[in-house]
Amino acid sequence: MYISERKFTDWQLTGFGNAPVLLFETLESTHSLMKAMASAGEIAPGTLIVADTQTAGRGRHERTWDSPAGKNLYFNILIPLEGISLSSAPQITQVAALTFAEVFKSLQDDSNSQGRGNGDIGKVSVKWPNDVLCGKHKFCGILTELVYIKSAESSSASIPAISMGVGINVNSDPADYAHLGRAVTTLKNICGQNINREKLLQMLVANLERAIGQFRAFGISPWVAAWRKMDQFIGTQGTIVVNNRCTDQNRDSGAGVQKKTGRIIDMNDDGSLLFKCDDGSVETVYSADLEI
């Protein structure tokens, strides 16, 4: 995993079920391209799109995702929903976050055993709903959207799928993100050494494909149990931010923003958050940002 990587355009990758891979040295957004290609029927379920840099990378709620070239991973995978109900589809994001976090934790543990890891930054963990952090520093973002793949057999038929966009700060430096004004780190900083992005992406895609298969068979329950073991924020104070239009610029003042402080009680069996507000009320939260 720590060997030198080869040229980006020579990477050997596959999507789910050996589906095609599209490599782009420069792309506006892997997420935007996948959505457009799915709508036009130009892409098969399981396809993987990877960019070496993005000029308009984005995260949740249209927030900016900085995408320097030659350092990190920016990719989208089109996840088929065969055998998964539309009501359960949002839980795929949490399955992915935990799956990726387990890979990153293994890298951190390996680096620590070599005496190379950063002992001051904390442990890799997950934070509801789908963030992967080290300590309180984010380094992996996941954005999912339900899309419909135009059928080749009928112009009026379409197949539902999840377009999952992932951005991972791999070999960049924390200083690269100082302008964002929030806690950000990178895998290089966590592990104390550069990581082969091709090998890492191969492992992430393979593990995610297995995880989706298990989710299809057993539902979210096993993942909730594993999440509780890795989530270091259950039982601590936090703030729920409800504002589906909030961006980096209007996070605290955007139209319709709601912020509630309180204590994180637990993650429910369906993947929602159980949160006790400071006024004593207990809420089940299905969609929001959680600040810690």
pLDDT digits (tens, 9 = 90+) for 180-224: 777 889 999 999 999 999 999 999 999 999 999 999 999 999 999
Which pLDDT score, from 0 to 100, does residue 23 have? 98
- Say if CB 166 and CB 144 are below 8 A apart: no
Q: Which residue has the tokens 């993947």?
A: 271
Which pLDDT score, from 0 to 100, does residue 235 have? 95
* CA 210, 216, 217, 220 torsion-angle sign: positive
Which pLDDT score, from 0 to 100, does residue 255 have? 56
Q: What is the mean pLDDT of the chain?
A: 90
Which pLDDT score, from 0 to 100, does residue 60 have? 54
Res. 133: pLDDT tops 60: yes
Which pLDDT score, from 0 to 100, does residue 66 have? 64
One-letter amino acid identity for 271? G
Question: 177-210 burial string, b = 16+ CB within 10 Å, else e?
Answer: beeeeeebbbbbbbbbebbbbbebbeebbeebbe
β-bridge partners, 140: 132, 168
Entry field: residues in the chain:
292
How far are the Cα atoms of 100, 119, 125, 284 from residue 115, in angstroms, in the given order? 23, 9, 20, 42
Which pLDDT score, from 0 to 100, does residue 257 have? 73
- Say if CB 207 and CB 99 are below 8 A apart: yes
Q: How confident is the model at residue 285 (pLDDT cuts 50, 70, 90)?
A: very high
Question: 6-25 burial string, b = 16+ CB within 10 Å, else e?
Answer: eebeebeebbbeebebbbbe
Q: Which residue has the tokens 């892409």?
A: 43
CA distance 292 to 101: 18
Angle between helices 91-113 and 197-218 (to 10 degrees): 140
Cα dihedral 208, 210, 213, 214, rounded to 10, equals -100
Average pLDDT on 115-128 reads: 94
Which pLDDT score, from 0 to 100, does residue 59 have? 56
Strands 21-24 and 48-51: parallel
Which pLDDT score, from 0 to 100, does residue 179 have? 72
Res. 259: pLDDT tops 80: yes
In this predicted model, what pLDDT tens digit does every residue of 37-84 receive, in sequence order? 999 999 999 999 999 999 876 655 555 556 788 999 999 999 999 999
Identify the burial level of 40 via C-beta atoms within 10 angstroms of its C-beta, where 0-12 means exposed, 13-18 middle and 19 or more buried.
Answer: exposed
Sheet holding 282-285, edge to edge: 282-285, 273-277, 258-267, 237-242, 289-291
- CA 244 to mean position of chain CA atoms: 18
In 3D space, the residue among 161, 143, 216 whose CA is nearest the CA of residue 45 turns out to be: 161
Return the higher-pLDDT residue of 161 and 256. Answer: 161
Return the higher-pLDDT residue of 182 and 109. Answer: 109
The DSSP annotation for 11-55 comes to -----GGG--EEEESSBS-HHHHHHHHHHTT-S-TT-EEEES-BS
Res. 231: pLDDT tops 70: yes
Share of the chain above pLDDT 70, in %: 91
All domains of the chain in start order, with CATH: 8-229 (3.30.930.10), 233-291 (2.30.30.100)
Return the higher-pLDDT residue of 156 and 117. Answer: 117
Q: Which residue has the tokens 């935990």?
A: 98
Q: How confident is the model at residue 119 (pLDDT cuts 50, 70, 90)?
A: confident
- Say if CB 240 and CB 259 are below 8 A apart: yes
The DSSP annotation for 217-261 comes to HH-SHHHHHHHHHH-S-TTSEEEEEE-TT--TTTTTTSTT-EEEE
